[in-house]
Structure 1
């Protein structure tokens, strides 16, 4: 069996959402292993941010501070925290730890 690309599974995911069917029923009708379809559905559900909840972080305009960050922390989840101005070592440890 040939592997399908992420784009193909995303297209199937969107088609399933519009169908109103259960995941297992849809996967069987499309000839996709149920476990594989469940995996991709979970992946696409976590990739898209919920539209009703506010973002966990927001940008705070700071006109009086230098335009370039002095430190940047990038988390595996894709969240990036940039620190401007004087950086407190204890705060950095708390964010990294």
Structure 2
């Protein structure tokens, strides 16, 4: 998450610059250009956060799936009794969040 935090800090600085530009009465083209840069930085940070969340969900699902396969070959049930579908709502939620950023 370090790179995401750095990106958000940069966006924070850029936004402060946009506010300063507005207060100074700078021309609209310069303000909009900087505002677009802030928007893009925030979008990229959002995508990175959602992608990280999806990776964690997939890793969790993969781990649970491996545990279920081991249990099935040994003839025992998993600890929580839930199958790989238990992680699916988290993945679906992350996908939905990802799409809201587009």
Same fold (TM over 0.5): no
Higher relative contact order (Cα pairs below 8 Å, separated by 6+ residues):
2
Normalized per residue, the structure richer in helix is 2
Kindly indicate which of the two structures has a greater share of residues assigned to strand.
Answer: 1
